[in-house]
Amino acid sequence: MLLEKLCLLTLTLGLVKSEYKYETKYFTVPLDHFGFQRTETFQLKYLVNEDFWDRGSGPIFFYTGNEGQIEVFAQHTGFMWEAAQEFNAKIVFAEHRYYGSSMPFGNVSLDNKHIGYLTSSQALADYADLLDYLQDHAVTPKYPVIAFGGSYGGMLAAYIRQKYPHLVAGAIAASAPVHMFPGMTPCDAYYRIVTASFKNDGSKHCVDNIRSSWSAIREFASNATNAEWLRKKWNLCDPLKNSSDVQQLLDFLQSSYETLAMVNYPFASDFLVPLPAYPVRVVCQYLNQTLNGTKLMEGIGKVLDTFTNYNKKTKCADYKKGSDYGNLDASGWDYQACTEMVMPMCTYGDQDMFEPHAWNFTEYSDECFKKFNVRPLPDIARVNYGGDRLQAASNIVFSNGLKDPWAGGGVFNTINESVETMLIIDAAHHLDLMPSSPADPSTVKMAREFHKQRIRRWIQKFRK
């Protein structure tokens, strides 16, 4: 279950409408950039808009696509579109291999015998090749390139500046959990922030009620009559026939709270599930006093209803779908989490509102082996990308919203004079990259101004 986390947001973003226009293009990349035994190539998709571009020397704003169809990121990274007009920039969104339509082996790309070239290094090398092509393979590139990305895309934006600084003048890495690797971050950091959001935007009662709900639901549902009551009252698509069903329901609830915290934006949105502004505050109103027994069940039921049926169009709460939304992308991320992206997660139940669940690498590894016939490599991301030793990097802004669970693995200390951090107190998951909204808190507006200042500085330095 933990595997799908980062992916969740991608999918969530998928349903928002927007009207940014671009041309869809394809670029040939090798399957393997770091060896010559495999000679296959495939088409990497990228989106381009040159409406604002100063063709002589304007910068290229380059989104390092993450785990999902690139159109999703193009439509939701409003900050890039808005800033491009100011900077007369060309806009490029590059799709990550093995997601969307950038499939090296078509429909069977995610089969175990083909998926092995789904790695961050290969994706970065795809982007490097594409950037070289966009610069006409010039020994001295003409256009300053600014990389942008959110979440795993933010990690990639930072990484491409670290690994290919000759191709990328600077990077805005929003909500990039580059420290979420073994030994760098306490494994409960993510869940503590989910909990803090529910406490701060909701109340202590809200947190306490959720914390006590796990055993309460388990106990309540163990009685057949109660289980049927829950099915009806909570409008569940499937009955709770056994403890495995109940566990699935609890997992779905936990995942809902995480999503609510991640997308706890100041405006109503129709992400994965349509939600009101400040959804955490909204759901917590049903849990703002100490609740027990049936009252607690009713309260949680209202939270569930808000999450699954805010627009009143959902037939029933489909708790069995978990975080597998039938999208190929999810499977791709699971593989990455089972190879390079080993991010320990745990709960203790005290500073977080969840049932205690230890991080067990062996169990995790066995699950990966069963699923993909691979063993995760807990050191590989640190060895490759530096973990928390980024002193030699330059021209990166790491921004994190304090309301964002992923901030738990973010960079908060300024590393050096040009690797800076931007803490956005009021923001959830990479709010700073989203289109501006009248409801934006001043802190996120300031963050966007900060980003633009730094982008200006990097471009000036490039031109010197």
The residues that touch a second copy, with contacts defined as CB under 8 A, are 32-38, 113-117, 119, 121-122, 125, 128-129, 132, 137, 139-141, 163-167, 183-184, 339, 374, 379, 382-384, 386-395
CB of 374 to a second copy, least distance (A): 6
CB of 378 to a second copy, least distance (A): 9
Beta bridge mates, 420: 397
Is the CB of 74 or the CB of 145 nearer to a second copy? 145
- On whether the CB atoms of residues 118 and 140 are closer than 8 A, the answer is no
CB of 435 to a second copy, least distance (A): 31
Give the C-alpha separation, 451 to 78, whole Å: 14
Beta bridge mates, 422: 399
3-state secondary structure of 357: strand
Under DSSP, the state recorded for 210 is H
Point out the catalytic residue in the list 76, 429, 430, 451: 429
CB of 89 to a second copy, least distance (A): 20
Point out the catalytic residue in the list 334, 404, 426, 440: 404
CB of 338 to a second copy, least distance (A): 9
Q: Is 429 a catalytic residue?
A: yes
Is the CB of 269 or the CB of 336 nearer to a second copy? 336
419-424 β-sheet, strand order: 23-30, 41-49, 90-94, 60-64, 145-150, 170-174, 396-401, 419-424
Q: With CA atoms as reference, report the closest residue to 66 among 27, 93, 89.
A: 93
Question: Phi and psi at residue 311, in whole multiples of 5°?
Answer: -90, 5
Give the C-alpha separation, 52 to 58, whole Å: 9
DSSP line for 141-209:
--S-EEEEEETHHHHHHHHHHHH-TTT-SEEEEET--TT-STTTS-TTHHHHHHHHHIIIII-HHHHHH
CB of 179 to a second copy, least distance (A): 10
Give the C-alpha separation, 204 to 306, whole Å: 20
Is the CB of 128 or the CB of 422 nearer to a second copy? 128
Is the CB of 244 or the CB of 413 nearer to a second copy? 413
Give the C-alpha separation, 19 to 76, whole Å: 10
Q: Is 404 a catalytic residue?
A: yes
Q: Is 208 a catalytic residue?
A: no
CB of 449 to a second copy, least distance (A): 25
Is the CB of 26 or the CB of 34 nearer to a second copy? 34
- On whether the CB atoms of residues 206 and 199 are closer than 8 A, the answer is yes
CB of 141 to a second copy, least distance (A): 7
Tell me how long the chain is: 464
- On whether the CB atoms of residues 415 and 390 are closer than 8 A, the answer is yes
Give the C-alpha separation, 232 to 316, whole Å: 10
Point out the catalytic residue in the list 151, 197, 255, 323: 151
Question: Phi and psi at residue 416, in whole multiples of 5°?
Answer: -160, -170
Burial class (CB in 10 A: 0-12, 13-18, 19+), 101: middle
- On whether the CB atoms of residues 15 and 265 are closer than 8 A, the answer is no
Per DSSP (E only), the strands in 216-277 are none
Active site residues: 151, 404, 429
